Structure 1
Amino acid sequence: MKHTTHRSTRLNIGHRYSEKETVIVTGSSGLIGAQIIKRLSENFNVVGLDREGNPHPPIEAECVCFDITSEESIKKAMERVNYAYGKKIASVVHLAAYYDFSGKPSSLYEEVTVKGTEKFVKVLQDFEVEQFIFSSTNLIYRPTEPRRKIHEDCPVAPNWDYPESKVDTEQIIRENRVDMKAVLLRLAGVYDEEGHSIPVSHQIQRIYEKQFTSHFYSGDTSHGNVFLHMEDLLDALEKTVEKRKALPEEIAINIGESETPSYQELQDTVGKLIHGEEWETYEIPKPIAKAGAWAMDLFGDPFIKPWMIDRADDHYELDISRAKELLNWEPEHSLIATLPDMIEKLKSDPLNWYKENHLEPPSELKKD
């Protein structure tokens, strides 16, 4: 892939002599990358590394395009970093990874997330990198039961390609970090007031449209997943960079909300906010649910897939005491408290909400 620098306003400023230290953000054009760049740029020179083409990182960062699957491309990108900023790098916030919610196996998990990170970390050994932050996931852990929290030393048991790629990449970082400090942030599912969470936005969509499937669930409705507001995630990333000198040489840290809403709680809350009533939800046997999911997939349903049914009983609750102790971080938001804002945005501008969440609006909205 061609190596290109897009932010020409930064080319000749001489940042290697700046008092500001340098931070690199990979996956810098994504939703998280673009926002953490804006945060960090107040105190650091920020370089955004991502694939060539739109969207580009925000103007606060110099955009250096690279292909993380190509060692040659990574080296060329880092040559640009060395030329403009020197070899000293305060922190690398590594967000670039492959993700596909369809659940289908893909070689890209290995090529992008695992091998791509391995190539990147090895090239970074030619630089003086103080800290390497990796965005892992809470899904690497073995699921738990309600009121039994998962701490960082609990067993890992990834059960599909995405978390498996994160476990493999964590190990790659441990084996190849050399003198870099490594922070493995195990993140919960991210959302904000617009939605921007695939499972949450689809759950809202089903209830908003009164879909037949919105009343059925193939798992234990008292179980659920843990979530994380975007602003709380940005706070955690910023504090991880700021406290890099005080952190251990290698550490894993859970980042998520301390309370996990159950599937039923989400159903009832969304139902009340949209339709003014609790949402009747019935648990159905997995074989029946799989047959129904297969039929919906055949006729074009965009979300519910048979693989999700196997994991419908999975439950995650995080112990975040390490984040409190080492980062002085704890979440200030909760998904349940944010749902009213999310639903209000849906009600006030449904078409925009569907667009923001990459959902196909119902035909009646298109007519309006």
Structure 2
Amino acid sequence: MPNDESNRPTVLITGSSGFLGEAIARGLRDRYRVIGLDVAQPKHPIQGVETVEIDLTSDESVEGAVRQAASKAGGPIASVIHLAAYYDTTGEDNPKYEAVTVQGTRRLLQALKAVGAEQFVFSSTLLVHAPSPGKGVRIDEDSPLDPPWAYPQSKADTEELIARERGDVRTVILRLAGVYDEDCRAAFVAQQIARIFERLPTAYLFTGDLTAGQPYLHKDDLVDAIMRTVDRRAALPEETVMLIGEEETPSYEEMQKRIGRLIHNEEWRTLSLPKGMTKAGAWLQTEPRRVFRRLIDVSYAAMA
């Protein structure tokens, strides 16, 4: 890649001030001119990375931000890395999934048609897929889709929209595993660690198959995957879908035992509740911790 910034291809990154956006911007800035698109200017700007403010729920804001970014680029936009999306931990549906994730992507694609872009990369999630049909059976890009709750459903809906609305731009859908780093910036892992650290009642219970697992992906590997995707943009098909995750997936039980040993230096035991007891498990979560401790002691005695 050319060293003169004015001659470098330009990459736009939505959500550039976030955990993943900052890491990707740092990875690309030495080889591309990077322009961020985010709801506000970053508190700690990255040297060499400009940020244009954008509101994905507004047609006018998206059009203006894309025009401004294209003007700063002064030439063709090599790639757009679209990370910005709505997410909450409740699992409940929320109008913002449609307004920000789905329709925000539509607005972005429409605005890009006016200025031109070689490539559009969308960060989706492995959670759009149905669970593996059996132990040891890997899923791939052609495996059935069955998003189980609002967040992955919004990603699946957006994937369909991109296929319809992409126009002439090459698109890449990256279905990402749960991203983590040394600071444990992975919500599900952090929550799992916190439950065990605090010995919460739910740290001893799991609804479903304990041998099942959630794939993960280190932040640095994600950055590498994005860089390779942008570098090879001309060689990729018009529409590409890729699963991005680590080759080995630890089971939930393995994670529980490992975390229990690291934190409490003990063999952590987890009870697997039948699926029909999901509501009961949720009810138990609201009870005082002393009640749980008694229930767990009784359960363990019965299992001994």
Provide the residue aligned with 2:211 in structure 1.
222
Q: How does 1:117-136 map to 2 (within 5 A)?
A: 117-136=105-124
> What are the superposed Cα offsets for residues 284-341 of structure 1, whole Å, 9 maximum, x if unpaired?
2345442342353588xxxxxxxxxxxxxxxxxxxxxxxxxxxxxxxxxxxxxxxxxx
* Percentage of identical aligned residues: 46
Q: Does 2:26 correspond to 1:61?
A: no
- Say whether 1:173 aligns with 2:166: no
Equivalent residue of 1:126, what SS? Answer: helix
SS at match of 1:125: helix
Contact 2:178 2:186 in 1 (8 A): yes
Q: Give, as a single letter, the amino acid of the residue that structure 2 aligns with 1:42.
A: D
Q: 1:115 is matched with which residue? A: 103
Q: Which residue of 1 aligns with 2:296?
A: none
Contact 2:70-2:77 within 8 A present in 1 as well: no
2: CA distance, partners of 1:112 / 1:55: 22
Cα displacement string for residues 169-193 of structure 1 (whole angstroms, at most 9, x for unaligned residues): 1111111111110000000011111
Q: CA separation in 2, counterparts of 1:280 and 1:292?
A: 16
Q: Deviations over 1:59-92 (max 9, x none)?
A: 3311100101111101111221232223510000
Q: 1:29 aligns with which of 3, 11, 17?
A: 17
Q: What amino acid does structure 1 have at the position aligned with 2:159?
A: E
Distance 1:221 1:135 in 2: 28
CA contact (8 A) 1:37 1:61 kept: yes
Maintained 8 Å contact 2:52/2:65: yes
The AA in structure 2 aligned to 1:239 is: R
Q: How far apart, CA to CA, are the structure 2 residues paired with 1:268 and 1:100? A: 27
In the alignment, structure 1 segments of 5+ residues that lack a partner are 1-14, 300-368
Change (3 A) 1:57 1:28: farther
TM-score by length of structure 2 reads 0.89
Report SS of the residue matched to 1:239. Answer: helix
TM-score by length of 1: 0.74
Out of 84, 88, 91, the residue aligned to residue 103 of structure 1 is: 91
Q: Tell me the residue number matched to 1:153.
A: 142
Alignment correspondent of 2:224: 235
Does the 8 Å contact 1:38/1:60 carry over to 2? no
Q: 1:265 aligned to 2:254?
A: yes
- Aligned residue for 2:7, secondary structure, equals coil
Distance 1:180 1:197, change over 3 A: same
How far apart are the structure 1 equivalents of 2:200 and 2:228? 42
Equivalent in the alignment of 2:187: 198
Alignment check: 8 A CA contact 1:141 1:154 kept = yes
Q: How does 1:138-149 map to 2 (within 5 A)?
A: 138-144=126-132, 145-149=134-138
CA distance in 2, matches of 1:72, 1:225: 39
Distance 1:220 1:51 in 2: 40
Partner of 1:83: 71
Deviation at 1:212, TM superposition (A): 3.0
- 1:129 is aligned with what amino acid? A
Partners of 2:14 and 2:81 within 8 A in 1:
yes
Q: In 1, Cα distance between the equivalents of 2:67 and 2:51?
A: 13
Gaps of 5+ in 2: 289-304
Q: Which residue of 2 aligns with 1:211?
A: 200
Report Cα offsets for 1:70-128 as digits up to 9, x if no partner: 11101111221232223510000000100111111100000000011001101100122
Q: How many residues align?
A: 285
Over 3 Å counting, the alpha-carbon distance change for 1:232 and 1:210 in structure 2 is same
1:87–1:127 Cα contact (<8 Å) kept: no
Distance 1:45 1:265 in 2: 43
CA contact (8 A) 2:41 2:51 kept: no
In structure 1, distance between residues paired with 2:101 and 2:269: 40
Go from structure 1 to structure 2 and tell me whether the alpha carbon gap of 1:298 and 1:111 turns closer, same or farther (over 3 Å shift).
farther
Q: Write the letter of the residue equivalent to 1:91.
A: S
1:312 aligned residue: none
- Deviations 1:254-290 (Å, cap 9, x if unpaired)? 1001111101100111111122222111112345442
Amino acid at match of 1:76: G
Look up the SS of the partner of 1:228 in the other structure.
strand
**Does the residue aligned with 2:114 lie in a helix, a strand or coil?**
coil
Q: In structure 2, what is the Cα distance between the partners aligned to 1:296 and 1:247?
A: 48
